[in-house]
Amino acid sequence: TLLKEQKPEKTPLTVQIDRVTLFIIGMAVLAFVSILVLGLFQGEPFTKLFTIGISLAIGSIPDALPAVVISILAMGTVAMAGKNAIIKSLPAVETLGSTSAINSDKTGTLTMNQMTVRVITTVEHRYIVSGEGYSFSGTIQRTEGDAQENLDHLLFPCALCIDTEISDGQVIGDPTEAALYVLAQKGGINVPEFRKNNPRIASVPFDSEYKFMATFHHHKDSDGTSCIRAYVKGAPDVIVSLSSYGLMADGSAKKLTDGDKQKILAENDRIAQRGLRVLAFARKDIDPEFFDPKANLLALIQDLTITSLIGAVDPPRPEAKDAIARAKQAGIRVRMVTGDHAVTAAAIGEELGIDGRAITGAELAAMSDEQAVHEIDSIGVIARVAPEHKVRLVEVLKKKGDIVAMTGDGVNDAPALKAADIGIAMGMSGTDVAKNAAKMILTDDNFSTIVSAIEEGRKIYDNLQKFLRIQIANLFMFILAFLGSSVFAIAGTALFTPGQVLWIHMLTVAPIGAAMGFDVSAPGIMTRKPRRSDESIIPLRMYVRLFGIGFFMAASALVMYQIGHRVYGSQHLGQTMGLVTLSLLNIFVALNLRFPYDSAFHISTFSNRRLLYSYLWVIFGTILITESRVFQTLFHTVGLTGELWLFCLIPGVVLFLGGEFFKAVLKEKRNSF
């Protein structure tokens, strides 16, 4: 039901591209209508005006935008696949790069998913367990208690109350159960043979709602009386609440008082504070005459005899701590969600470097929306989570304005994966339901892969901004140049021929824009704060800046036209000088806008080989269109002298130096705050 309730939404990128596209189309239509109206008012023939207006509109609209966006996202998808992140939806590439909050499962993502039992506590004894991973080498050694007790009450359920197999060191099933399998082996039980000799006659499978598992087996008491014994394992607080007795070292059962239960829970907290995951074991003997394996077995799980607690460790991935630190530096808040006890989860979160206090999923659910949004920044770990708690966490963060990534591997994780802006499923341990609900799949189940993918996503978004900046600057340039020419009667509607407009658009702006779209990562890209979910891909201040650049380019083209036309007496010379000026200006615009807040006097200016080649092409193409007789005929251009080439270069140099001065002023203002 939760999964059906989650409706697909447009990604932040899709929304922003739609807005920019509408803006560009609107401006192009406005320019077309203006040229048409002004031209008719000045007595120009409609056919000529329509042709020039269409050319202007084509020159203004970045028709390469869909192809460039798709290509950028596709190349990003390929790059992420090489880093073990499979993207199912192209826009999700950028969404990941905009992520400001990551809710990560603990087991297998932040940790190794290789559980190993470290400590055992019974009523009168404590033990430590040696050995690593899923090797059967290791011992169980007593650290507290007088006489050695019989540990069959612990080892039997470790062998029987699990659904996991280990074959040739490979685990088939749950890692926590694998740790119990290994513990039974270390305690001297041959698990496969023991299972054959003690077959399961019924079971209650584990469920996150009641947080325990039980199996039923034929058994004989010490006096030889036959019974059905239920072995139960689960969350300590749940098992304690279901238990009425405690197993003593001599095998007798003691009625538990409230004080006894508090002592057990205190021992649970003591183990959990070491970052260990704690499981409790209990049992119950049932008269065979009153046992029906087809009846409601849950009703039998009460008045249990609690036998022991075990503490198992799932070591944090060595790279996870570094990845969390990188995410923190990038302004991304990492939260850990887990089914563990809150104390255990808090200890692991602290070890991993996750900021914030630990609360339970129930505590989050009990908060009002306003309270949850207010307090969420102080929360770093959510323990004892149920599926609906994960969905609530996603909704709270989205309401706060975060772009949320959510990891998960189980069927119960699917609603939260679908609700998140970017759902991330585990490729190795994930279920098909989780993978279908997610937009990204980690083939290595590793948290550090998420951070690497975020860096790739940020680069993609940054490159889309670079591409749009140079396109919009030229959009403003075309509109202002043609309108200025008509309004001030400089060249009427004949500032440039349709062919010249298309040359600038297709063979000058497009190559530079495409190269910007496939740029390398900008310096310090992972030290920036994530963008807000409602932030425009081109902010208002940048639009103002692009308008200023477009205005300067248009003014430069008009001035050069005037020099050629008025001073040298040739309209074709004026058009050629304007064309050359705009072509060279685009190189300097690219140098200025590639890193809009960092100086171009840096080695990174030469880091994009494609962009350097596009600069060379623009220079070569500009020479070709002005100095070749064939192109002079096609595009109505004329050759220029060295002096005129120098004139055409001056606006570009002025724009470049002015841009560097502007960046220096901006940097000084930022440093002063």
pLDDT of 212 over the 90 cut: yes
Mean pLDDT, rounded, of the chain: 88
pLDDT (tens digit, 9 = 90+) per residue, 219-231? 887 677 899 999 9
Helix/strand/coil for 446: coil
Helix-strand-coil split of the chain, %, nearest 5: 55, 15, 25
Q: How far is CA 103 from CA 37, 85, 114, 413, 494, in A?
A: 56, 17, 21, 12, 59
The pLDDT tens digits of the residues spanning 259-303 come to 999 999 999 999 988 888 899 999 999 999 889 998 899 999 999
Whether 4 has a pLDDT exceeding 70, the answer reads: no
What element of type H or E holds 586? helix 571-594
pLDDT computed for residue 140 by the predictor: 92
β 243-247/126-129 pair status = unpaired
Lowest mean pLDDT among 19-33, 615-629, 633-647: 19-33
Sign of the torsion angle spanned by Cα atoms 31, 36, 40, 42: positive
pLDDT of residue 367: 94
Q: How far apart are CA 528 and CA 459, in angstroms?
A: 12
Whether residue 65 is predicted with pLDDT greater than 80 in this model: the reply is no
Options 105, 421, 462, 519, the catalytic residue? 105
List 216's β-bridge partners, or say none: 202, 230
* CA pair distance 494, 407, nearest whole angstrom: 59
Percent of the chain with pLDDT over 90: 51
Quick one: pLDDT band at residue 209, thresholds 50, 70, 90? Answer: confident
pLDDT at 257 over 80: yes
For 418-476, how does the pLDDT look when each residue is reduced to its tens digit (9 = 90+)? Answer: 999 899 998 887 788 989 999 999 998 888 888 988 888 888 889 989 998 998 898 88
- Does 543 have pLDDT greater than 60? yes
Q: How many CA atoms lie within 13 A of 265 on its CB side?
A: 15
What pLDDT shows up at residue 569? Answer: 87
What pLDDT does residue 2 have? 47
DSSP β-ladder status, 379-383 and 333-337 = parallel
* DSSP string computed for 94-163: HHHHT--EEEEEIIIIIB-S--EEEEEE-SS-EEEE---TT-S---EEEEE-SSPPPTHHHHHHHHHS--
- The answer to whether residue 3 scores a pLDDT higher than 50 is no
Mean pLDDT of 160-168: 91
Least confident of 24-33, 455-464, 542-551, 576-585: 24-33
Q: By C-alpha distance, which of 342, 348, 333 is closest to 364?
A: 342
Structure tokens at 471: 């396109």
Residue 562: pLDDT band (50, 70, 90) is very high
CB-CB contact of 379 with 342 (8 Å): no
Structure tokens that stand for 424 in this block? 């991330």
The 10s digit of each residue's pLDDT in 397-415 is: 999 989 999 998 888 889 9
Q: What pLDDT score does 492 carry?
A: 58
Kindly tell me if the per-residue pLDDT of 44 is higher than 80: no
CA angle 131/135/141 to nearest 5° reads: 30
**Residue 258 is among the residues annotated as catalytic for this protein:** no
620-643 tens-digit pLDDT: 999 999 999 999 999 999 999 999
Q: How far apart are CA 234 and CA 214, in angstroms?
A: 9
* CA–CA separation, 469 and 539 (whole Å): 11
Q: What is the pLDDT of residues 487-502, one digit of tens each?
A: 776 665 568 888 888 8
Residues with Cβ within 8 Å of 145's Cβ and at least 6 positions away in sequence, in order, are 122, 124, 125, 126, 249
Q: Within 13 Å of residue 650, how many CA atoms lie on the same side as its CB?
A: 13
Strand 277-286 and strand 304-313: pairing? Answer: antiparallel
Q: How is residue 379 written in tokens?
A: 């929360």
pLDDT tens digit sequence for 342-389:
888 888 898 899 999 999 999 999 999 999 999 999 999 999 898 899
Q: Select from 425, 526, 568, 498 the least CA-distant residue to 60.
A: 498
Collapsing DSSP to helix, strand or coil, 341 comes out as coil
The strand pairing partners of 312, in sequence order, are 117, 277
CA distance 531 to 86: 23
Q: If phi over 0 gives left and psi between -120 and 50 gives alpha, with beta otherwise, what is residue 138? A: left
Q: Which residues pair with 309 in a beta bridge?
A: 121, 280
Q: Within 10 A of 423 (CB to CB), how many other CB atoms are there?
A: 29
pLDDT value of residue 162: 95
Instruction: Of 41-55, 311-325, 420-434, 575-589, give the range with the top mean pLDDT.
Output: 575-589
Confidence of residue 1 (pLDDT cuts 50, 70, 90): very low
Q: Which two tokens stand for residue 316?
A: 């944090």
Contacts of 510 (CB under 8 A, 6+ apart): 64
Size of the chain in residues: 673
Look at residue 182 and tell me whether its pLDDT is greater than 60: yes
Name the amino acid, one letter, at 325.
A
CB 62 within 8 Å of CB 471: yes
Q: Residues with Cβ < 8 Å from 657, sequence gap 6 or more?
A: none
Closest CA to 80 of 522, 531, 451: 451
